[in-house]
Structure 1
Amino acid sequence: METNPIRLTAWSEGSGCGCKIAPAILEQILASSGSFSQKDPKLLVGNSSKDDAAVYQVSDDLAVINTVDFFTPIVDDPFDFGRISAANAISDIYAMGGKPIFANAILSWPVEKISPELAAKVMEGAKEICRQAGIELAGGHSIAAKDPIFGLSVNGIIHPRKIKTNSGAKAGDLIYLTKPIGIGVLATALKREKIQEKDYLNLLDTACRLNTIGDLLGNHEEVHAMTDVTGFGLLGHLIEMTEGAGISAEVEHSKIPLIEGIQEYINQFIFPDNTYRNWNAFSPKVSGIQGMDLVKFCDPQTSGGLLIAVAPENKDWFEETMKQEKQIVWKIGSFVEKRNLAVEVIP
């Protein structure tokens, strides 16, 4: 881990996607501003569906995807901050089943207090991830402000009939996850200067890994829905899928994958404050989560994995395809007909 003269995480209360506005407050803001009222028939996906990105149809066989994602520092190293921010933003395009085509940067920087050279390192990290995604960091906008903030606006393309929303799951579908949980826990350990070197490397490996498999899965009708797991945690984004589809989910607690080493930090009560914010928002809609297990379900992820709904009759095809693509997946449960609660967790 590189040592910087300035710890970027010292400039943020909540790091990464953990600094998201609470779900209830966000919904209040959108409702009060009239953001849920969208009448353009070419806007195929907008605010009303709580999805990962907006999708606008430009022709019979082409739609444009756009997303904006930015946050305060999640790590101290500026290059790594740029990498994580870029991977997180590009993920929204993959979560819709789309192909990213270019991105623009969003930069807020306290230039009188933090060296502009460090901001340049953030940009270099973002460009490296864009290179891996096969896109250009084409431009952007910057401001001088008191807090360091970075992210991307990313554009992608998709066929209008191949869009993967977070509301397309059907009862019986199997639920798969493409990354283990624990990014928020490790980021908090870093912020509190408690993290071990090997765990920092696990944090980077997970958060900088692109969800490119989403582009491939956009071409397959066997996949009914996708979303990525970010600031609202596994539970929050799974609930968005169930409520959007009018169904429920049954999740096996023992099948939830965790980044190696995070339980040690949880045992020391090292996890983001916004874990409790997520739990308070979503606990009335779930059963079967006991004690500190809530951390695994509500840990805010930054550049987390994809949640994927797959038709049960296509289980073998899906798992074989993932193996061929060298994409690790975990089957964590299934969607079921609507029950009293959105999610039921079983051992």
Structure 2
Amino acid sequence: MPGPRIRLTTMAHGGGCASKLPPGELEDVVRGLSGQRYDQVIVGLDDGDDAAAVRIGGPDGDTAVLSTADFFTPVVDDPYDWGRIAAANALSDIYAMGGEPVVAINLVGWPRGVLPYELLQEVLGGGLAIAQQAGVPVIGGHSVDDPEPKYGMAVTGTAPANRLLRNDAAEPGLPLTLTKPLGVGLLNNRMKTTGEVSAAAIEVMTTLNREASRAALAAGARAATDVTGFGLLGHLAKMARASGVGAVIERAAVPLVDGAAEALRDGFVSGGTRRNLDWVRPGVEAGPGITEDDLLLLADAQTSGGLLVVGEVPGYPVIGETVAGSGIRVR
């Protein structure tokens, strides 16, 4: 008879993208590292974009190679689903730049002697399934013996050099589109605490951002980012700052994953979410009727969230607009 199923989320202090270093602390660490200048680098460290972009084929080359890496501790207890979520999340960085992924390699931290390798096979199988769905070969990788289990991917992609979706390309007076509902951070934290699995959250986290990215490009968008560990407010703040614009968010227009409002009501707010809100709060103006819970929801640390696109993308909800000036108003 097989033994009891191991709850992977109990083996890590945080889960998914909520385990990221806080945005303010991370910016302090990398400050001063962006001074390197290479003619072929189109997008580097300066504005916190989702992936690096390097032009190939000389100064007039029309193709950009995109490079990113993303991994995290277990966000759900099922190893196969964790693998699927982590792979979708890593691939999302390429889609957020308007690119198409070409190849991926696995990144693994595993507590050998504590967790059986059969579980790792399930994790890798989940990652492979999502990569196959995206049409991306997974070739090799790197592993280390680690007290906490970790999994993700390094992904390489390509995009037209003059059609990247960037953090610094937002203009005022355009709609803001969000391509996935918010709230998976709350639901994941509830699951970590209670063991209650949200099928709706897993569905959101395992959905590729491929179609949303292609739709954004077809609609003429120039600026976008994916909404992950820093929450909607955090990622919007980074994009607005890089572009020199402000933004307005219509709280009632922001879609939620089924069960997220109840998880918020019941207090399943992660420490990462609270740190996100602390970081953006000085630049956020809450309008009449906007509560602290509203702001926590907008700062909820997402894992494998959707794209936040400057411009209207058919088929996805508009949640606000960019404006002249600075800061974010929530109303």
Same-fold status (TM-score > 0.5): yes
1:25 aligns with 2:10: no
CA contact (8 A) 2:47 2:238 kept: no
TM-score, normalising length from structure 1? 0.90
Aligned partner of 1:283 in structure 2 is 281
CA RMSD of aligned residues (A): 1.5
- Check 1:12–1:62 CA distance in 2 against 1; reply closer, same or farther (3 A cut): same
1:181 is displaced (CA, Å) by 0.3
Aligned partner of 1:129 in structure 2 is 130
Aligned partner of 2:7 in structure 1 is 7
Sequence identity (%): 38
Structure 2 matches for 1:232-311, cutoff 5 A? 232-288=230-286, 289-310=290-311
1:147 aligns with 2:148: yes
CA contact (8 A) 1:286 1:345 kept: yes
1:224 is displaced (CA, Å) by 2.1
CA contact (8 A) 2:232 2:298 kept: yes
C-alpha separation in 2, matches of 1:36 and 1:158: 23
Structure 2 matches for 1:126-205, cutoff 5 A? 126-193=127-194, 195=196, 197=197, 200-205=198-203
C-alpha separation in 2, matches of 1:180 and 1:218: 17
Aligned partner of 1:48 in structure 2 is 46
1:295 is displaced (CA, Å) by 2.0
C-alpha separation in 1, matches of 2:37 and 2:66: 18
- Check 1:240–1:145 CA distance in 2 against 1; reply closer, same or farther (3 A cut): same
- One-letter code aligned to 2:329: E
C-alpha separation in 2, matches of 1:41 and 1:214: 31
Aligned length: 323
**Secondary structure at the counterpart of residue 165 of structure 1:** coil
CA contact (8 A) 1:170 1:224 kept: no
C-alpha separation in 2, matches of 1:126 and 1:173: 36
1:223 is displaced (CA, Å) by 0.6
CA contact (8 A) 1:96 1:218 kept: no
Residue by residue over 1:58-83, the C-alpha shift from the partner in whole angstroms, topping out at 9 and shown as x without a partner, is 12121100000000000011000000
CA contact (8 A) 1:97 1:217 kept: no
Aligned partner of 1:334 in structure 2 is 321
- Check 1:45–1:218 CA distance in 2 against 1; reply closer, same or farther (3 A cut): farther
C-alpha separation in 1, matches of 2:76 and 2:240: 32
Match of 1:228 among 205, 226, 229: 226
1:217 is displaced (CA, Å) by 4.3
Between 1:143-152 and 1:286-295, the stretch displaced more is: 286-295
- One-letter code aligned to 1:63: A
1:100 aligns with 2:85: no
1:90 aligns with 2:91: yes
**Secondary structure at the counterpart of residue 36 of structure 1:** coil
Residue by residue over 1:285-341, the C-alpha shift from the partner in whole angstroms, topping out at 9 and shown as x without a partner, is 10114221122111100000000111xxxx5xx42xx4xxxxxx11001000014xx
Between 1:286-295 and 1:19-28, the stretch displaced more is: 286-295
C-alpha separation in 2, matches of 1:4 and 1:306: 38
- One-letter code aligned to 2:323: V
TM-score, normalising length from structure 2? 0.94
C-alpha separation in 1, matches of 2:193 and 2:128: 28
C-alpha separation in 1, matches of 2:263 and 2:214: 35
Structure 1, unaligned runs of 5 or more: 323-328
CA contact (8 A) 1:97 1:214 kept: no
Structure 2, unaligned runs of 5 or more: none
Aligned partner of 2:205 in structure 1 is 207
CA contact (8 A) 1:98 1:218 kept: no
C-alpha separation in 2, matches of 1:253 and 1:123: 38
C-alpha separation in 1, matches of 2:231 and 2:257: 14
**Secondary structure at the counterpart of residue 5 of structure 2:** coil
C-alpha separation in 1, matches of 2:317 and 2:71: 28
1:220 is displaced (CA, Å) by 4.1
1:4 is displaced (CA, Å) by 5.8
- Check 1:138–1:290 CA distance in 2 against 1; reply closer, same or farther (3 A cut): same
CA contact (8 A) 1:4 1:76 kept: no
1:222 is displaced (CA, Å) by 2.1
1:194 is displaced (CA, Å) by 5.2
